[in-house]
């Protein structure tokens, strides 16, 4: 029996796994006994007690009497908010900068190269601290705020932008969601070879009825200067603005290089084929080159998006209450350091695995299917 290589391999792997599990159990049991002997509380019961901590900025509604678990959710929402915006902005800017680096215009190409080199060779925390120090040295006070765009003001207190609100009636929203669910079901059935021609009229009817009953109302709250501050609109504090602008500048440099490499990976013959069809350069790039380069750039882009989530922890350097900053406050206040570390590791692992799974799913969708 032991002479069989496959059997020996299975036994050795099982023994190693049992040894690892026994080591983990021993480590956890010893840690719990030591903490108990020293009177240090252990467990997650503290999550339901009032937090009594202050979170200066929050995407979600938060009050100091809310429990610890809600403070964690609020910090996580701040981190997700930052990460999503940085990913969106850096993806768009990275595409523009990456394409422009290949331009025949030396000024445009050189400017983008300087951006890329500075971003890729600068520590992100240094960039954030530098940008944060500029708020009070470069930007004017509120009464003399810059107005680069209609409804957008910049001062030493941060940015103020118009706030858009959307009000949708519940009955109409439910009908629209039902129509979307039926539409997704129809597409899945069609890909599996099941024809449902009668489903589309129902989807269109439900969609029309939903839009009719939804009673969608849009409202824009424009900021106006009232005394020593702005009234209305949405305020982006210097801390939030710094982390968004800084991480966007930093990540754009890496995304631009990924895009440039993806464009260069497409053979010159594809450009020649587009030229022979009489397509302008912009259409060749949009219709021929970019769809092919996506297969090359999705994996490295996924790594950069994961780095965005990890780099968002640098928000603590400029005082923005992201997830890590909130967890540090909770750990110092509740004395539950081990549980706090487990929560931090679990949350960041879940975020990064979710991003990786989404990128892998999209990569499989656009991959060339060999026959």
pLDDT in tens, 251-286: 999 999 999 888 888 877 877 787 787 778 777 877
For position 217, what pLDDT does the model report?
Answer: 66
Is residue 196 located within the same domain as residue 83? no
Choose among 326, 330, 306: nearest CA to 316: 326
Contact between 87 and 363 (Cβ < 8 Å): no
Average pLDDT over residues 323-331: 90
Residues 131 and 240 reside in one and the same domain: yes
Position 368 in a domain:
no
Quote the pLDDT of residue 87: 94
Task: Indicate the pLDDT class of residue 370, thresholds 50, 70 and 90.
Answer: low
Residue 27 lies in a domain: yes
- For residue 355, which of 320, 304, 315 has the smallest C-alpha distance? 304
> Given a cut of 60, is residue 371 above it in pLDDT?
no
Q: Are residues 29 and 77 in the same domain?
A: no
How many structural domains compose the chain? 3
Q: Are residues 259 and 321 in the same domain?
A: yes
62: in domain = no
Q: Answer yes or no: is pLDDT of 184 > 60.
A: yes
Q: Is residue 91 part of a domain?
A: yes
* Cβ neighbours for 172, distance < 8 A, ≥ 6 positions apart: 209, 210, 211, 212, 213, 214, 215, 216
Residue found under tokens 């930007």: 139
Highest-pLDDT range among 24-33, 69-78, 205-214: 69-78
Domain that holds residue 207: 169-215
* Residue 335 clears pLDDT 90, i.e. is over it: no
Specify whether 33 is located in the same domain as 173. Answer: no
Asked if residue 324 belongs to a domain, the reply is yes
Question: Do 315 and 183 fall into the same domain?
Answer: no
């Amino acid at each position: 029996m032991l002479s069989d290589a496959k059997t020996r391999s299975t036994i050795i792997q099982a023994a190693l796994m049992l040894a690892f599990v026994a080591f983990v159990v021993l480590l956890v049991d010893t840690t719990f006994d030591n903490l108990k002997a020293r009177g240090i509380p252990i467990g997650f019961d503290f999550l339901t007690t009032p937090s009594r901590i202050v979170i200066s900025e929050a995407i979600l509604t938060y009050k100091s009497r809310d429990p610890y678990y809600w403070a964690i959710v609020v910090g996580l929402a701040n981190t997700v908010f930052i990460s999503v915006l940085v990913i969106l902005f850096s993806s768009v800017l990275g595409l523009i900068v990456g394409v422009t680096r290949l331009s025949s215009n030396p000024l445009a190409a050189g400017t983008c190269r300087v951006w890329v080199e500075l971003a890729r060779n600068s520590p992100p925390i240094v960039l954030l601290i530098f940008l944060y120090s500029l708020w009070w040295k470069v930007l004017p006070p509120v009464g003399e705020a810059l107005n680069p765009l209609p409804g957008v003001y910049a001062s030493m207190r941060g940015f103020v932008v118009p706030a858009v609100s959307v009000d949708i009636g519940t009955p109409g929203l439910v009908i629209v969601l039902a129509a979307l669910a039926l539409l997704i079901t129809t597409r899945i059935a069609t890909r599996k070879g099941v024809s449902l021609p009668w489903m589309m009229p129902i989807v269109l009817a439900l969609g029309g009825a939903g839009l009719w009953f939804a009673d969608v109302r849009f409202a824009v709250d424009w900021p106006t200067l009232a005394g020593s501050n702005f009234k209305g609109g949405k305020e982006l504090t210097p801390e939030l603005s710094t982390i968004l602008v800084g991480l966007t500048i930093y990540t754009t440099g890496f995304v631009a290089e990924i895009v440039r490499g993806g464009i260069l990976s497409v053979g010159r013959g594809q450009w020649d084929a587009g030229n022979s069809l009489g397509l302008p350069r912009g259409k060749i790039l949009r219709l021929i080159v970019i769809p092919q380069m996506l297969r090359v750039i999705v994996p490295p882009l996924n790594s950069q998006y994961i780095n965005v989530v990890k780099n968002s922890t640098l928000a603590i350097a400029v005082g923005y209450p992201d997830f890590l900053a909130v967890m540090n406050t909770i750990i110092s206040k509740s004395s539950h350091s081990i549980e706090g570390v487990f929560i931090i590791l679990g949350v960041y692992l879940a975020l990064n695995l979710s991003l990786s799974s989404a990128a892998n799913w999209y990569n499989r969708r656009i991959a060339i299917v060999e026959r």
